A and B are shown apart, each in its own frame.
Chain A
Amino acid sequence: DTGVSQNPRHKITKRGQNVTFRCDPISEHNRLYWYRQTLGQGPEFLTYFQNEAQLEKSRLLSDRFSAERPKGSFSTLEIQRTEQGDSAMYLCASSLTGTQGHGYTFGSGTRLTVV
């Protein structure tokens, strides 16, 4: 297992365009999390899945954002009508139920730049 994989690593898009990011968690992990990290800040929670069910969404996740995990494996995060304020690093993490006290395994992130 190579850990949590995120693609693409970098994405530059024009304002108003839609973008989609993918996260492949550690295969046996049933929980998957999305975080957003802006420059000089710590990561902020966006949403999390247990298997295919999206169980919590942050107020940061406006209606332009949607996340899916259709088969309980990989997840996608889509941002519609991107705005410059969406420029950030989007981090994915995963964990296994019952092991949350051991922390989460993070991916390397997708850096989004909206121009």
Chain B
Amino acid sequence: AQTVTQSQPEMSVQEAETVTLSCTYDTSESDYYLFWYKQPPSRQMILVIRQEAYKQQNATENRFSVNFQKAAKSFSLKISDSQLGDAAMYFCAYRSFQAPFGNEKLTFGTGTRLTIIP
């Protein structure tokens, strides 16, 4: 079974600075998807960025980028120019690429609470 580990329960960053959230995972599969989700206090999970494991290029979405190290099974999220609206819980998640019945689920880490300091 796959596991996802987020070792930083809380992080804080000064507004306009850069912060990196860590995520490691364990899997025996070669193809899979990785995601970062944001969960603001309103509680709706919002997809921030995704990465296909077969792609070597790191994904980027505006101020959000990832550092995907497949061999190390590491998938960190970098937030540049942090804004007050970035304050939220951030969850790393894993999904199998091939989805016969039984592999549909997302496996989440325990999350990192990000605080933005004005």
Please judge, given known A-B contacts A43-B91, A100-B99, A103-B35, whether A48 and B104 are in contact too, CB under 8 Å. yes
* Contact in complex: B99, A41 (CB < 8 Å): no
Which of chain A's residues has its CB closest to B49's CB? Answer: A103
| B104 surroundings in chain A (CB, below 8 A) | 31, 33, 48, 55-56, 100
Q: Give the chain B neighbours of A74 by CB distance below 8 A.
A: none
Q: Given the complex of chains A and B, what is the CA–CA distance between A4 and B37 in angstroms?
A: 16
A56 to B46, CA, bound (A): 24
Contact A56 B45 (CB under 8 A): no
Q: What is the 8 Å Cβ interface bit string for chain B, positions 25-59, against chain A (1 contact, 0 not)? A: 00000000101010000111111001010000000
Partner of A56, one of B91, B93, B101: B101
| Contact partner, B105, options A40, A45, A111, Cβ 8 Å | A45
A residues in contact with B52, CB < 8 Å: 101
**Cβ A45 vs Cβ B44 within 8 A:** no
Residue B78 interfacial (CB < 8 Å): no
Chain A residues numbered 99-115 whose CB sits less than 8 Å from any CB in chain B: 100-109, 111
Could you say which of A35, A101, A107, A109 contacts B33, with CB atoms under 8 Å apart?
Answer: A101
Most buried by A among B35, B37, B42, B106: B106
> Bound complex: CA of A43 vs CA of B51, how far in Å?
20
Q: Hey, what's the 0/1 contact readout for A40-66 against B, CB within 8 Å counting as 1?
A: 111111001000000110100000000
Which residues of the partner chain B approach A89 to less than 8 Å between Cβ atoms? Answer: 43
Residue of A nearest to B45 (CB): A106
Is there contact, CB below 8 Å, between B110 and A48? no
Which of A42, A56, A105 interacts with B108 by CB under 8 Å? A42
A55 to B46, CA, bound (A): 25
Q: A101-B97, A102-B47 are in contact. List 11 more A-B contacts (CB 8 A).
A: A43-B45, A48-B105, A56-B104, A58-B105, A101-B33, A103-B47, A103-B50, A104-B47, A106-B37, A108-B42, A109-B43
Chain B residues within CB distance 8 Å of chain A: 4, 33, 35, 37, 42-47, 50, 52, 91, 93, 95, 97, 99, 101-102, 104-111
Chain A residues close to B by CB (< 8 Å): 31, 33, 35, 40-45, 48, 55-56, 58, 89, 91, 93, 100-109, 111
